[in-house]
Amino acid sequence: MRHFDYIVIGSGIAGLTFALKVAARGRVALVTKKNRAESNTNYAQGGIAAVSQPNDSFAMHIEDTLRAGAGLCNEVVVRAVVEQAPERIQELIALGMEFTREDTVSPDGERGYALGREGGHSARRVFHAKDATGREVERALLAAVDRQPNIEVFEHRFAVDLITTRKLRRAGENRCLGAYVYDAQSGAVETFVAPVTALATGGCGKVYLYTTNPDVATGDGVAMAYRAGAPVSNMEFVQFHPTCLYHPQAKSYLVSEAVRGEGGVLKTVDGREFMNGAHPMQSLAPRDIVARAIDREMKRSGADHVLLDITHKPAPFIISRFPNIYETCLGFGIDITKQPIPVVPAAHYQCGGVVAGLDGRTEIPGLLALGEVACTGLHGANRLASNSLLEALVCAHHAAEVVGDATAMEAGEIPQWHSGDATDPDEMVVVSHNWDEIRRCMWDYVGIVRTDKRLLRARSRIEGLREEIAQYYWDFKVTSDLLELRNIATVAEMIINCALQRPESRGLHFNLDHLDLDPAWAQRQTVLRREP
C-alpha cells in the first residue's frame, strides 16, 4: 500500500494546478495514464477566456456563457468563474506561462496580451499562446511540478477503481479512501491510499468514432465515480466541435475556432456561405448551432465535409497567428493561405460529469472532481469556447482552499487487488471489436442529431456489449485496453440514458422527436446514480 496526503488522478490543467496548490501542505501522488503531458489540455488550441479590456465586462462574459448554456447554467457558478478569471490568468503568468503578446508597443513601452475571439463570445477576451495554448500550459505547470519535491509523479499508471468504504462493506457513510492503480508496464495493480482523492481525468471523446480528443479521453473518471456511488449529471450534453480537419490520414486534428474568430468563413464544397441567415453571428455562432448546420449541409448535399476558408486574410498574418495549424495542414498537402480547409464536426467536450461544487467536492467525502470530469453548472447545456481551461483553474484553486491540510484518516485494513482465477486474455479481437462497435454505434445513433428510436436502439446494443465486457473483465487479467473498453461502455450508457430522460431539444441535445424547449425541463438536470 502506498500512503499519501493527496492522490491526484490526471495530469492535465486541473490535476496539475490542484497538485501544485496542495503540495506545500502534504505529500501528493500524481497518477497519470500515459506520459505526464498527455491530456486534452496538451492539445488545447484557442485559449483561456478572461475579461481584461475596457470594452469588455464581466457582465458580457457572464451573458455569453449563460446564452450558450441555454438556460441550464448555475448563475452563481458562472459569476464566480468569470470574476476570478483575471486572477487565475495572472497566477499562470507568475508560474511561467507565456501568453502571446501584441506586435505593437503601447506609448508606455508595454506590449499587451493579444486576445483571440471565438464562437459565442461578444468580445475579444481569449488569452492564448499562438494556436497551441494547451502545450504551453502543460509546459509551464509541469516545470513547476519539477520544482516541487512533495509531488511524486507516477506515469503509465491507470486508476482502475476508487476504493470506498461502501465497496469494503463498512458501515456508516460512503467515504473515498483512495484508488486501485494498474501499472501498465509491470501489469501489477497497486493500492494508493489518502484522505483526499482528486479525480482530474478529463473527458470522454473516445466514446465516439470521430473526436478531437487524444486516446486518453475514455471517461475513466466519470465511470469510476459512478461505480463508487457518486451522482453523475447532464451526460447528454456532448459538445461536437464544428471544425476538425477532414483528411484520410489526419487523426483527430482540430482546426481552432479562433480561425473563425479571425474571419474564417464556413462554406459548402461548392463555395456557398451557408451560415448566413442561420444565426446573427454567422460562422461565429455557438458550437451547437454551427455543428448542426454543418451536419445538415453534409446530409443535404451528400458531401463528406464542408470548407473553412481564411484565404482572404494576408498569408503572413495566417502563418504567424496559426503556425501549428498552417504546418499541420501543409503536411497533408493543404496550404491554408491559398486553399480552404476541409472540415467535419467531431466529439470534443463532455459538458456533464460527476456532480461537484465549484470547490470540486462531490457527494462522497474524500473524493473531489475537477476539470472536465466534473459537472459544476458552469456550462449548462452547452459550453462556451475557452471556458473549460478556465473552469479547471478556478475549481482547482477553490478545491485547494477548502480541503485545507489533509486530515489524518484511519483507512483501516484495505484488501489488495485480487485477480482471482483471471487468466491472460485469450482473444484481444473481442476487445478491439467491441471498442469499434461502441464508438460507431454512438456516432451513428447518439450523435449531433438524435431521435428516440435511435437512442433506444443504441441502448439495447450497448446493454448487450456491457454484459459481454463485464464477463470478459472478470475472466481475464486487466489490460489498459480492457479497462478503457469497460469505461467507454459505461459512459456510452450514461450518455444514452441521460438523453432518453430529456424530452426536449436544448443546447447540445437535439432530438428530432422533441424539437422544442420544454419549460418543465428549463431548470432540470438529468441525474444518474448507481444504487448500492
Query: Which distant-in-sequence residues (6+ apart) come within 8 Å of 14 by Cβ?
Result: 200, 202, 370, 371, 372, 373, 392, 395, 396
Give the Cα separation of 175 and 193 in Å (integer): 12
DSSP 8-state assignment for residue 283: G
Q: Of the two residues 252 and 388, which places its CB atom closer to ligand SIN in the complex? A: 388
12 is in the binding site of which of ligand SIN, ligand FAD, none (Cβ under 5 to 8 A by kind)? Answer: ligand FAD
Of the candidate residues 68, 115, 254, 266, the single one contacting ligand FAD (CB under 6 A): 254
Query: Which distant-in-sequence residues (6+ apart) come within 8 Å of 252 by Cβ?
Result: 205, 210, 211, 212, 213, 214, 244, 346
Helix (H, G, I), strand (E, B) or coil at 245: strand
**Pairing mode of beta strands 527-528, 306-309:** unpaired
- Does 19 help bind ligand FAD (rule: CB under 6 A)? no
Give the Cα separation of 347 and 235 in Å (integer): 13
288 is in the binding site of which of ligand FAD, ligand SIN, none (Cβ under 5 to 8 A by kind)? Answer: none
Give the Cα separation of 195 and 447 in Å (integer): 39
Catalytic option among 117, 260, 287, 450: 287
| Closest C-alpha among 341, 381, 338, 378 to residue 356 | 378
How crowded is the C-beta side of 288, counted as CA atoms within 13 Å? 23
Does residue 79 have an active-site annotation?
no
Report in angstroms how near the CB of residue 371 gets to ligand FAD at its nearest: 2
- Does 114 help bind ligand SIN (rule: CB under 6 A)? no
Report in angstroms how near the CB of residue 243 gets to ligand SIN at its nearest: 7
Site for ligand SIN in 261-280 (CB under 6 A): none
Q: What angle do CA 147, 33, 131 make, to 5 degrees?
A: 70
- Does 257 help bind ligand SIN (rule: CB under 6 A)? yes
- Does 216 help bind ligand FAD (rule: CB under 6 A)? yes
40 is in the binding site of which of ligand FAD, ligand SIN, none (Cβ under 5 to 8 A by kind)? Answer: ligand FAD
> What binding mask, one character per residue, do residues 21-50 give for ligand SIN by CB under 6 A, x or -?
------------------------xx----
- Does 350 help bind ligand SIN (rule: CB under 6 A)? no
Report in angstroms how near the CB of residue 172 gets to ligand FAD at its nearest: 27
- Does 388 help bind ligand FAD (rule: CB under 6 A)? yes
Give the Cα separation of 358 and 378 in Å (integer): 9
Report in angstroms how near the CB of residue 42 gets to ligand FAD at its nearest: 7
- Does 239 help bind ligand FAD (rule: CB under 6 A)? no
Question: In this structure, are residues 204 and 488 in contact, taking their beta carbons and an 8 Å threshold?
Answer: yes
Beta strands in 32-73 (DSSP E): 48-49
- Does 258 help bind ligand SIN (rule: CB under 6 A)? yes
Q: Of the two residues 45 and 328, which places its CB atom closer to ligand SIN in the complex? A: 45
- Does 34 help bind ligand FAD (rule: CB under 6 A)? yes
- Does 386 help bind ligand SIN (rule: CB under 6 A)? yes
10: phi > 0 → left, psi -120 to 50 → alpha, else beta; which? Answer: left
Q: What angle do CA 447, 453, 454 make, to 5 degrees?
A: 25
**Which residues are at the interface with ligand SIN (CB under 6 A)?**
45-46, 256-258, 385-386, 388
User: Which residue numbers are catalytic?
Assistant: 287
**Which residues are at the interface with ligand FAD (CB under 6 A)?**
9-15, 31-34, 38-41, 43-48, 133-134, 158-159, 200-203, 212-213, 216-217, 220, 254, 349, 371-373, 386-389, 392
